[in-house]
Structure 1
Amino acid sequence: MNKKVALRGVGIVVEQSRKVGLLSRILFCCKVIGLFVMQRSKLQFQEVEESASHERALNEGAVAKFKKFRGVHSSRFLSHRAQMNAYNEAMTRESRKMPCFTGEDSMGNLVVRMETENIGEGYEPNPANPSDPRYISEMYGFEMRFDFETQEPWALYPIEKA
């Protein structure tokens, strides 16, 4: 009962049983390829999860390092003019024949710390009780931080004294 059947578009005459065998092989190959793709995606998903958990562990370690430091200063300039003067003082040091930066912070970022008249007010962390910061009504300095790679300023705030 082998019938000869012409495959459309191919121009080849193939027996029907061979046609069924060919289709079953193609389906089998598709299933194998599908299983391979699923296994591959599972492996990639596991790799992504492992790298995410590794990054999470690194971030937790970094958070632990930051917890060792005291709290963050919360201060503000008394006026926009005082803030602009501090910005200009920090940015024009090189043109005034002064070193561009006065030092580095703990993270390796370049810093300019300068003394000025009463420029701001704010809170400073209290080492004895971190939940009760000290209020400082008069701050006599400012700090500007620069990115160590691009040397672009990214923070400017008043400090108690330089």
Structure 2
Amino acid sequence: MNKKVALRGFGIVVEQNRKVGFLSRVLFCCKGIGVFVKQRAKLQFQEVEESANNKQELNEEAAPKVKKFRGVHSSRFLSHKAQMNAYNEAMTRESRKMLRFTGEDSMGNLVVRMETENIGEGYEPNPADPSDPRYISEMNGFEMRFDFETLEPWALYPIEKA
């Protein structure tokens, strides 16, 4: 029973009963490695799935806290010259010995509001019927908003009154 047999591909001559023992150990190790790889992949998938669920739960919790606005102001300057004049008026307030900002908005951003004559036109939300905004043909002011951290302007638009 103890025949010497050559293992194919290994170039080794071993006894047959040792061959069976060796192959069974190799097969056992391969199965063990396969099981380990499958379990590791399953754990990684579960971790990714749990983190995605946690992010979704956090997003769902944060969503009701966001204030929803009923309407959006939509206005435009009548000309590029009027827009450039408004920009220059807002940006040169300090050099003209005036306060740099006239106030801040509800989000804490600094604002410059100034009056001018017929600078733009546009729509304003209608509190009575949000689907039917009010048209304003003559807007007599403008507003420029600045980022509160960098103090860089990020919005300039005409408004009805300053």
TM range (shorter): 0.7 to 0.9
Match of 1:66 in 2: 68
1:1-162 matched pairs, under 5 angstroms: 15-16=18-19, 17-62=21-66, 65-67=67-69, 70-162=70-162
Please state how far the C-alpha of 1:8 moved relative to its aligned partner. Answer: 5.0
Equivalenced residues, count? 156
Consecutive unaligned residues in structure 2, runs of 5 or more: none
Partners of 1:55 and 1:109 in 2: how far apart? 25
Please state how far the C-alpha of 1:66 moved relative to its aligned partner. Answer: 2.1
Partners of 1:148 and 1:8 in 2: how far apart? 73
Residue 139 of structure 2 aligns to a residue whose secondary structure is strand
Please state how far the C-alpha of 1:42 moved relative to its aligned partner. Answer: 1.6
Q: Which has the larger radius of gyration?
A: 2
Please state how far the C-alpha of 1:19 moved relative to its aligned partner. Answer: 4.0
Consecutive unaligned residues in structure 1, runs of 5 or more: none
Percent identity among equivalent residues?
Answer: 60
Residue 66 of structure 1 aligns to a residue whose secondary structure is coil
| Aligned-residue CA RMSD (Å) | 2.5
Please state how far the C-alpha of 1:60 moved relative to its aligned partner. Answer: 4.0
Please state how far the C-alpha of 1:79 moved relative to its aligned partner. Answer: 0.4
Tell me whether 131-140 or 37-46 shows the greater mean CA deviation. 37-46
Please state how far the C-alpha of 1:80 moved relative to its aligned partner. Answer: 0.5
Partners of 1:60 and 1:5 in 2: how far apart? 73
- Cα deviation code 1:44-100 (max 9, x no counterpart): 2221122123214413431xx223xx4221111010000011111111222222222
Partners of 1:145 and 1:30 in 2: how far apart? 61
Kindly provide the amino acid, as one letter, of the partner of residue 56 in structure 2. Answer: A
Kindly provide the amino acid, as one letter, of the partner of residue 90 in structure 1. Answer: A
